[in-house]
Amino acid sequence: MPPRAIGHPFEVPPAEGEAVEVAQGILWMRLPLPMKLDHVNVYALDEGESWTIIDTGFDSRRSRAIWQGLLAGPLAGKPVGRVIVTHHHPDHVGLAGWFQAQYGAELWTTRTAWLFARMLALDEQDRPTQETLAFWQGCGMAPDILARRRSERPFNFADVVAPMPLGFQRIREGDSLTMGGRVWDVRIGNGHAPEHATFWSRDDDLVISGDQLLASISPNIGVYATEPGADPLAEWLEACERLSAHSHDEQLVLPGHKLPFTGLPLRLRQLIENHHGALERLLERLQTPHTAVECFGVLFKREIGEGEYGLAMVEAMAHVSHLHQSGLVTRSLRQDGAWLWQTRQ
Ligand SMILES: [Zn+2]
């Protein structure tokens, strides 16, 4: 059978402070983000006397105020008893600690997500570390951008993530949990964030996917100074293949960004093929040696502005590094500390 198209049963996202019921007892809401990707989706599942919420948005005065309005309005004054966080990125975990500290909510997430979030929230830096500077140099960051970022306060997790008190409930691959009147299987994704939780309803065709499964944008796959030898693209491709086995056309996927969608089998195939296409273009480009940054053109096929330079760089690094670890590309260190990658002849 030919793959069905990707569908969007809910075409209009909820306005700020409002909620859309996407299935019985499941509300979809949005929090703003001050970036090119200007929102994150969050969900509330009705537990009768309380709510389970999935993901939280950044910690900011504005987000807290929006949540307070949501709690009093669409959430009808019932408390949030449990916060489930899909992965450790700040747009998802940002207010988890606030819900714990202010409202006595429980935090449920994967062990890796919790450890990463709490570690990064405590790791405040006024200037980039030596390791980060060396890593940026290794990527081939443009000298003017490197010079400027060297003397600026870098992005700090703690700026947009509320302090996280001790204590969480671990969820892991193979668990099942009850929320919103349904039983959900936990399946773990990887590649965008390590040990990223997704939830698959046994009772109806719903999937809560965080950033593991998105419809109209491709989740960022990045290598960072924390683990320069990582191969997140291999982990991403493995997760896409594994999750494909559980996908079918009728599922409504509730993602962390953009619109809910159907057509998951096709979307997973696209997500895999996009990367294979990019890897082929890279092998061609690397017939002559280049840095990761010099591969922006073939990878993204558009101009990369400074606002997305950092994300583009870690994504380019993930792709060249994957080719290197697959044995298809060699690398050598240029005098200025940048890695030059070249397709093995
Ligand atoms: Zn996200």
pLDDT in tens, the chain (345 residues): 555 799 999 999 999 999 999 999 999 999 999 988 999 999 999 999 999 999 999 999 999 999 999 999 999 999 999 999 999 999 999 999 999 999 999 999 999 999 999 999 999 999 999 999 999 999 999 999 999 999 999 999 999 999 999 999 999 999 999 999 999 999 999 999 999 999 999 999 999 999 999 999 999 999 999 999 999 999 999 999 999 999 999 999 999 999 999 999 999 999 999 999 999 999 999 999 999 999 999 999 899 988 889 999 999 999 999 999 999 999 999 999 999 999 998
What is the CA(253)–ligand 1 centre distance, in A? Answer: 15
CA of residue 41 to ligand 1 center, whole Å: 8
26-32, strands of its sheet edge to edge: 20-23, 26-32, 39-46, 51-54, 80-84, 106-109, 169-170
Q: Which of 45, 5, 8 is nearest to 23 (CA)?
A: 45
What's the one-letter identity of residue 94?
Answer: G
- What tens digit of pLDDT does each residue of 253-294 get? 999 999 999 999 999 999 999 999 999 999 999 999 999 999
* C-alpha 89 – ligand 1 centre gap (Å): 6
Sheet with 252-255: strands ordered across: 176-179, 182-189, 196-201, 206-210, 252-255
Please answer whether residues 88 and 157 qualify as being in contact, where contact means their C-beta atoms are separated by less than 8 angstroms: no
Cα gap 38→35, rounded to integer Å: 5
Burial degree of 115 (CB within 10 A; 0-12, 13-18, 19+):
middle
Tens of pLDDT, residue by residue over 300-322, are 989 998 888 999 999 999 999 99
State the distance from the centre of ligand 1 to the C-alpha of 116, rounded, in angstroms. Answer: 15
Q: Give 4 Cα–ligand 1 centroid separation in angstroms.
A: 26
Q: How far apart are CA 328 and CA 318, in angstroms?
A: 14
- Ligand 1 center from residue 177 Cα (angstroms): 23
